[in-house]
């Protein structure tokens, strides 16, 4: 029923041009070449010519490839039967299961009316003091993990996912190493969480451009679950691969790059995805945790930089630990006033002292004499790193706060901590 | 008859249409998909072709689809009922959109900004035969705590005679309240609502005055060190997470102005939700009414259409000009102007214009200057003063201020509140850098004390730098004490706990008193046996002073704490 075009006029990178009529912007097409089939999407219309990005890549395409326009933008089927399943980056089964059926949902749909959002109010407990105490994670938050390639960001994502009390977990892999995919799958399976998870996995072996679909598919499915009152956690790893795929298309389309070759709309593109995180007025929620690897460990690189301006904070993973500086949960104050009354006092006091400790370390490395105060800070810093920062520590928030007081009392006089007197009076541990 | 055309190209939110007839730059047009009409604005005309930026998602548009041109520039509605509202960048009321469309924004749905049904208690202020010009008050209606002026429409040229004026009584927005005759004898009806094109400044005042009176924000480091003035402009550049938005949120609550207009431009929706959900429940201490009654929110957050982002700051400033014309003091907070600049960049890129630095268009600087120029303190025809103060955040790529948006903004504003990553990392909030920031406006505290404080801050920082080279042992006790004094001033005065009910907002009266007190401490000659003793003394002094900050002024505990601090100073041989 749809028109088929027998000729491709122009091939550059993973973009092809076809002379066609009646084509609509962002419409999907199926292209059949000698090499096989691929989905493609209209990304520009000019007169009689449509430019399409080819998700499976245009390598090996010939001008006689057949293009069949499908008359609609990308859609994914949605139903409860998705739970427990694994798909590719373009939503085909990866697990030898049946083709999914269900109500078709458009991906990349409109954004939520801000008037229908509510203020996030539920803490997500992780058992990790660097998160629970210092940068509390909140339901409906969008938060990336900034890390150099090689840091254990995927295990951290998996750990938070398993610890968090959520109804549905959706994992979107972009350029995921096959081992990492298996790690996620096995971890979810062993803990019994696979049955409430859906996986959309684009691996490093798949065509690069195909990963562009992953965040939109995951979030469209997440939205459907959230509208049915579920608390959904979406894990996206690695968003830098997504941004690089955007860059590739932009370069092919000869767009004027802004910084380091990335398109000028990188910010809007990323925001369109991250802003899908939401706590609905009278329905469920979507929380997004994403890995963003930093090329060259450089946070000013356009991908982490734009991401930081969009997300509600970030966790810096460095040397296998969550760094207190730079790490930030912007939503923490929505919940940390209601946990325990000393939460904020401990959070601010301990971090300011840790900042002083880092300065002392610097002085020490320059060979300066350590004052009595410096020595206190050194003792404190060592304990903080070992008992709070180490990712193997797994204790509830309240235990972590108690531990904080103990460390402070072992190292300092009350007035040295900068913590409000009211809290010192109440919580400062009595000396034995 | 209006001009029509056909789409010949679609590139993201930019479409090209071939047209017959006349088309104007910045004119509004609609692109059609079946029943759906998508609003757009003409951004370039070349021969028979017009390039239009579409204020909506363009999915589904096809070559050949019709385009209708309206002949009207992008405009907003001005009238009673703007306050307390939440609009998108094109002035669609978001709560009403939600009532009609549900959870998601639906493209192509446009609703009137102001209610047609609501009744207002109208009182005339002119009589038949009076002579009036654009912007003069014809009558008033109460809008919350304000007397909202119904004015001669801003687009009316020249002098007019009042032919007829409605008597006191209830009126709806579109009821005729006056009939005016211009010099040529043409008579026109005036209702309580008028339209004005957002990109054209409203300049119906007698003169612009130099901003000289402080606009008190109750943020100490601002009012004392880097003040803002009524009718002035300022910017807050800073890397992500340094505290730009929180600073604006605090200001929107506590600033001593009549009206606050918040332009949430291209950043997080969640941040607007906080304001939107909380303001109706927070009382404004100045009026005893809710904060929402003095606030209007223009909300075009990052996932909303990019082209409307650019419109949103103009919509906001036009509403500000409307209220200024009533003799009110308006504060416009834009977060973030960089997103609007990026929207310009996206449009410019799609038009394939020659890019300037970092691919921003070459005209970026003049566009930014033009926007801030719409701020100002003005004298109206009836002698009253009105003002618009504009504070914009800037989100520089990589946190580096040496980029086009920050630099263009710094050239035109009157105060610069530069946020520093080092300070926010150390949780020294608000993270305004006390050494780099500046202001051209007058402070609320005594100038001599201020000069002393600045001197101590500078010298303290120098000593700090020096200590990094020569260590504490290579620093004299006197220098070390200067360093401790600077740190003390920082910890107890510049830093402020936004989430503490008392510390979060410091009145100018309290700032004057406390700053004078701290200045005496800074001047006091203190004696210490050694550096450890000095450090330990200042730790206790800081602790006591920070606790003091959390006490209600004029309470007993406040006075007791003050005595305690005095006793500490005496102990160190000083006297305050
Ligand atoms: N004045 C402040 N007091 C306490 N915390 C603050 C303050 N300003 C910022 N913060 C913390 O920093 C986070 C980021 O601030 P925000 O204003 O959103 O940064 P930006 O807009 O510069 O990206 C906040 O969520 C809060 O946790
Ligand atoms: Mg912000």
Token pair, residue A119, equals 């203020």
User: Is A322 within a domain?
Assistant: yes
Cα–Cα distance measured from residue B528 to residue B546, given in angstroms and rounded to the nearest whole number = 22
Q: What is the pLDDT of residue A1?
A: 53
> Which chain B residues in 274-313 lie under 8 Å from chain A, judged by CB atoms?
274, 276-278, 299, 301-304, 306
**Nearest-10 Cα torsion for B135, B136, B139, B145:** 60
Q: Looking at the domain assignment, is residue B87 inside a domain?
A: no
Average pLDDT over residues B317-330: 98
How far are the Cα atoms of A374, A376, B212, B532, B533 from residue A370, in angstroms, in the given order?
A: 5, 10, 50, 11, 15
**Pair of tokens at residue A334:** 């929505």
Q: Tell me, yes or no, whether B364 and B473 share the same domain.
A: no
Strands A28-33 and A15-19: unpaired
Digit-coded pLDDT (tens) for B221-241: 999 999 999 999 999 999 999
pLDDT tens digits, residue range A289-329?
999 999 999 999 999 999 999 999 999 999 999 999 889 99
In terms of Cβ atoms closer than 10 Å to its own Cβ (0-12, 13-18, 19+), residue A101 is exposed
Of A257-266, B314-323, B374-383, least confident by mean pLDDT is A257-266
A23 Cβ neighbours under 8 A, 6+ residues apart: A42, A45, A50, A69, B62, B63
Helix ranges (H only) for A206-328 are 213-227, 239-252, 266-274, 302-310
Q: Is the CB of B240 under 6 A from ligand 1?
A: yes
Contact B147, B162 (CB under 8 A): no
Report the SS3 class of residue A189: helix
- Where in the sequence is the domain holding B22, given as residue range(s)? 4-73
Residue A2 has pLDDT above 80, yes or no: no
Q: Does residue A58 sit in the same domain as residue A101?
A: no
Contact B374, B317 (CB under 8 A): yes
Q: Out of B8, B359, B395, name the one closest to residue A258 (CB).
A: B359
Q: Are A66 and A111 part of one and the same domain?
A: no
Residues A138 and A287 in one domain: yes
Domain C-terminal end among A334, A358, A374 = A334
* Residue A328: CATH number of its domain: 3.40.50.12240
Angle, to 10 degrees, between the axis of helix B477-489 and the axis of helix B508-523? 170
State pLDDT tens for residues B61-72. 999 999 999 999
Q: Do B183 and B216 have their domain in common?
A: no
Helix (H) or strand (E) holding B447: helix B447-470
Measured at the alpha carbon of residue B517, what is the angle toward residues B513 and B521, in degrees to the nearest 5?
A: 165
Place of tokens 């369109």: A272
In a domain, B298, yes or no: yes
For B435-489, the pLDDT digits (tens) are 999 999 999 999 999 999 999 999 999 999 999 889 888 999 999 999 999 999 9
A56 and A14, same domain (yes or no): yes
Average pLDDT, chain A: 94
pLDDT given for residue A254 in this prediction = 85
Rg, chain B, Cα only: 27
Beta-carbon contacts of residue A162 (< 8 Å; ≥ 6 apart): A187, A188, A191, A193
Q: Are residues B246 and B353 in the same domain?
A: yes
CA nearest A330 in B: which residue? B241
Q: Are A208 and A245 spatial neighbours (Cβ–Cβ below 8 Å)?
A: yes
- Residue A39 domain-assigned (yes or no): yes
Q: Are B242 and B389 found together in one domain?
A: yes
Contacts of B238 in chain A (CB under 8 A): none
**Mean per-residue pLDDT, A61-86:** 94
DSSP annotation of A266 = H
Indicate whether residue B244 lines ligand 1 (CB < 6 A). yes
Q: Are residues A179 and A272 in the same domain?
A: yes
Domain match, A50 and A87 both: no
Q: Which of A334, A359, A391 is the last residue of a domain?
A: A334
**Distance from Cα A273 to the centre of ligand 2, integer Å:** 18
Q: For residues A398 and B199, what is the distance between their CA atoms, to the nearest angstrom?
A: 55
Interface pTM, i.e. ipTM: 0.91
A210 and A158 both lie in a single domain: yes
Q: Please state the rounded mean pLDDT for residues A162-171.
A: 94
Residue ranges making up the domain that contains A394 = 343-427
B241 lines ligand 1 (CB under 6 A): yes
B381 shares its domain with B339: yes
Average pLDDT over residues B543-566: 95
CB contact under 8 A, B63 and A326: no
Q: Could you tell me if residue A432 is inside a domain?
A: no
Based on the fold, state whether residues A234 and A308 are members of the same structural domain: yes
| CA within 13 Å, CB half, B570 | 6
Number of structural domains found in chain A: 3
A384: left (phi over 0), alpha (psi -120 to 50) or beta: alpha
* Atom 14, ligand 1: residue with shortest CA distance: B241
Q: What are the respective helix, strand and coil percentages of chain A, to the nearest 5?
A: 40, 25, 35
* pLDDT at res. A37: 87
* pLDDT given for residue B575 in this prediction: 63
Can you tell me whether residue B352 is helix, strand or coil?
coil
Residues B303 and B358 in one domain: yes
Does the structure show a pLDDT above 90 at B370?
A: yes
* Total length of chain A: 432
Of B111, B24, B32, the residue nearest B74 (C-alpha): B24
Same structural domain, A165 and A285:
yes
pLDDT at A36: 84
Domain boundary residue, one of A23, A57, A73: A73
CB pair distance less than 8 Å for A259 and B397: yes
State which of B243, B302, B395 you would mutate to test the pocket of ligand 1, scoring each by most atoms of that ligand within 8 A of its C-beta: B243
Distance CA A279, CA A288 (A): 11
Whether the bond into B68 is cis, omega within 30 of 0: no
Q: How far is CA B467 from each of CA A64, A357, B428, rounded to the nearest angstrom?
A: 73, 16, 21
Q: Given a cut of 60, is residue A432 above it in pLDDT?
A: no
Number of domains in chain B: 4
Q: Tell me if A409 sits within 8 A of A428, measured CB to CB.
A: yes
Residue A391 exposed, middle or buried by CB count within 10 Å (0-12, 13-18, 19+): middle
More confident residue, A23 or A2: A23
Scanning the structure block, which residue is given the tokens 């210092």?
A134
pLDDT for position B486 = 98
Nearest C-alpha neighbor of A294 from the set A173, A146, A145, A144: A146
End residue of a domain, out of B399, B427, B455:
B427
B399 lines ligand 1 (CB under 6 A): no
The reply to whether ligand 1 has any atom less than 6 angstroms from the CB of B246 is yes
Report which bound ligand comes closest to the CA of B247: 1
H/E element holding B375? none
**Cross-strand pairs, A385:** none
Kindly state whether residues B421 and B505 are assigned to the same domain: no
Q: What CATH number has the domain bearing residue A67? A: 2.40.10.170
> B310 with B216, same domain?
yes
Considering only the beta carbons, identify the residue of B241, B425, B491 that sits closest to A313. B241
Residue B165 Cα to ligand 1 midpoint, Å, equals 52
B512, pLDDT greater than 80: yes
Do A372 and A411 belong together in one domain?
yes
Residues A21 and A103 in one domain: no
In a domain, B91, yes or no: no
% of chain A surpassing 70 pLDDT: 99
Structure tokens at A345: 């006092």
3-class SS string, A92-108: CECCCCCCCCCEEEECC
In a shared domain, residues B233 and B381: yes
Task: Give the per-residue pLDDT at A26.
Answer: 95
Q: Is the pLDDT of residue B260 over 90?
A: yes
- Residue B141 CA to residue B192 CA, distance in Å, equals 9
pTM for this prediction: 0.94
Residues B90 and B202: beta-carbon distance below 8 Å: no
Q: Domain check: are B366 and B452 in the same one?
A: no
Nearest bound ligand to CA B505? Answer: 1
Three-state SS string over A213-233 comes to HHHHHHHHHHHHHHHCCCEEE
């Amino acid at each position: 029923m749809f028109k088929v075009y027998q000729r491709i006029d122009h091939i550059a990178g993973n973009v092809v041009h076809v002379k066609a009529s009646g084509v609509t912007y962002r419409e999907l097409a199926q292209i059949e070449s000698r090499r096989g089939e691929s989905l493609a999407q209209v990304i520009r219309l000019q007169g009689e010519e449509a430019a399409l990005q080819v998700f499976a890549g245009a390598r090996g395409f010939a001008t006689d490839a057949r293009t069949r326009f499908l008359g609609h933008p990308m859609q994914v089927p949605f139903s409860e039967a998705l739970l427990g399943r694994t798909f590719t980056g373009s939503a085909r089964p990866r697990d030898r299961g049946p083709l999914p059926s269900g109500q078709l949902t458009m991906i990349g749909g409109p954004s939520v009316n801000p008037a229908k959002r509510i203020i996030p109010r539920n803490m997500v407990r992780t058992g990790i003091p660097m998160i629970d105490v210092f940068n509390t994670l909140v339901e409906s938050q969008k938060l990336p993990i900034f890390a150099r390639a090689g840091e254990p960001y995927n295990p951290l994502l998996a750990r938070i996912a398993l610890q968090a009390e959520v109804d549905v977990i959706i994992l979107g892999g972009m350029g995921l190493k096959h081992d990492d995919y298996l790690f996620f799958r096995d971890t979810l399976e062993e803990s019994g969480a696979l049955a409430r998870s859906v996986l959309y996995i684009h691996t490093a072996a798949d065509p690069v451009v195909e990963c562009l679909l992953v965040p939109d598919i995951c979030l469209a499915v997440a939205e459907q679950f959230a509208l049915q009152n579920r608390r959904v956690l979406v894990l996206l790893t690695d968003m830098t691969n997504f941004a690089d795929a955007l860059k590739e298309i932009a370069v092919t389309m000869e767009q004027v790059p802004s910084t380091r070759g990335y398109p000028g709309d990188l910010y809007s593109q990323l925001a369109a995805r991250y802003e899908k995180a939401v706590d609905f007025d009278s329905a469920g929620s979507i929380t997004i945790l994403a890995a963003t690897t930093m090329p060259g460990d450089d946070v000013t690189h356009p991908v982490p930089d734009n991401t930081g301006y969009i997300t509600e904070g970030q966790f810096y993973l460095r040397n296998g630990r969550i760094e207190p500086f730079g790490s930030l949960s912007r939503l923490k104050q929505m919940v940390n006033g209601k946990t325990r009354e000393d939460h904020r006092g401990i959070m601010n006091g301990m971090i300011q002292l840790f900042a002083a400790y880092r300065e002392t370390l610097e002085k020490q490395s320059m060979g300066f004499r350590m004052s009595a105060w410096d020595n206190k800070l050194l003792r404190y810093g060592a304990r903080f790193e070992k008992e709070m920062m180490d990712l193997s520590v797994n204790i509830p928030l309240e235990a972590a706060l108690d531990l904080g007081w103990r460390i402070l009392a072992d190292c300092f006089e009350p007035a040295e901590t900068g913590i409000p007197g009211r809290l010192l009076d109440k919580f400062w541990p009595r000396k034995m | 008859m209006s001009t029509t055309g056909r789409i010949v190209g679609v590139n993201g939110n930019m479409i090209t249409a071939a047209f017959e007839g006349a088309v104007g730059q910045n004119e509004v047009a609609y692109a059609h998909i079946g029943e759906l009409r998508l609003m757009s604005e003409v951004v370039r005309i070349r021969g028979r072709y017009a390039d239009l930026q579409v204020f909506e998602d363009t999915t589904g548009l096809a070559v050949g689809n019709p385009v209708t041109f309206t002949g009207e520039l992008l405009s907003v509605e001005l009238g009673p009922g703007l306050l307390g509202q939440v609009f998108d960048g094109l002035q669609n009321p978001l709560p009403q959109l939600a009532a009609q469309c549900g959870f998601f924004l639906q493209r192509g749905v446009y609703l009137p900004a102001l209610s047609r049904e609501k009744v207002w208690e109208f009182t005339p202020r002119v009589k038949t035969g009076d002579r009036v010009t654009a912007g003069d008050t014809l009558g008033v209606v109460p809008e919350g705590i304000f007397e909202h002026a119904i004015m001669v429409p801003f687009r009316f040229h020249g002098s007019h005679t009042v032919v007829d004026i409605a008597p006191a009584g209830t009126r709806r927005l579109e009821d005729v309240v006056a009939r005016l005759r211009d010099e040529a004898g043409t008579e026109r009806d005036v209702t309580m609502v008028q339209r004005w094109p957002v990109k054209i400044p409203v300049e119906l005042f007698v003169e612009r005055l130099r901003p000289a009176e402080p606009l008190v924000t109750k943020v100490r480091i601002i009012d004392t060190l880097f003040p803002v003035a009524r009718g002035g402009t300022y910017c807050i550049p800073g890397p992500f997470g340094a505290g730009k938005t929180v600073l604006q949120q605090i200001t929107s609550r506590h600033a001593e102005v009549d009206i606050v207009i918040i332009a949430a431009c291209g950043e997080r929706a969640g941040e607007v939700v906080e304001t939107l959900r909380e303001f109706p429940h927070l009382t404004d201490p100045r009026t005893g009414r809710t904060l929402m009654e003095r606030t209007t929110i223009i909300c075009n957050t990052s996932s909303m259409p990019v082209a409307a982002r650019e419109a949103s700051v103009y919509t906001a400033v036009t509403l500000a000009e409307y209220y200024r014309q009533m003799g009110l003091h308006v504060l416009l907070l834009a977060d973030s102007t960089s997103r609007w600049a990026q929207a310009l960049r996206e449009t410019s890129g799609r038009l394939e214009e020659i890019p300037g630095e970092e691919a921003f268009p070459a005209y970026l600087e003049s566009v930014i200057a033009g926007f801030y120029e719409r701020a100002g303190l003005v004298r109206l025809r009836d002698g009253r003063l009105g003002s618009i103060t504009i504070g914009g955040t800037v989100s520089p790529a990589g946190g580096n201020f040496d980029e086009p948006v920050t630099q263009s903004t710094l050239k035109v504003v009157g105060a610069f509140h530069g946020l520093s990553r080092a300070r926010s990392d150390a949780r020294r909030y608000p993270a305004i850098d006390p050494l780099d920031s500046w202001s051209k406006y007058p402070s609320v505290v005594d100038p001599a004390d201020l000069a002393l404080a600045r001197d101590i801050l500078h010298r303290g920082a120098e000593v700090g730098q020096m200590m990094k080279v020569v260590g504490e042992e290579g620093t004299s006790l006197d220098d070390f004490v200067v360093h401790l004094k600077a740190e003390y001033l920082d910890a107890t005065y510049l830093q402020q706990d936004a989430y503490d009910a008392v510390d979060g907002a410091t009145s100018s009266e309290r700032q004057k008193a406390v700053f004078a007190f701290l200045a005496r401490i800074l001047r006091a000659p203190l004696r210490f046996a050694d550096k450890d003793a000095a450090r330990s003394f200042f730790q206790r002094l800081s602790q006591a002073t920070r606790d003091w900050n959390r006490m209600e002024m004029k309470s007993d505990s406040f006075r007791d704490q003050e005595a305690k601090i005095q006793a500490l100073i005496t102990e160190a041989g000083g006297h305050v």
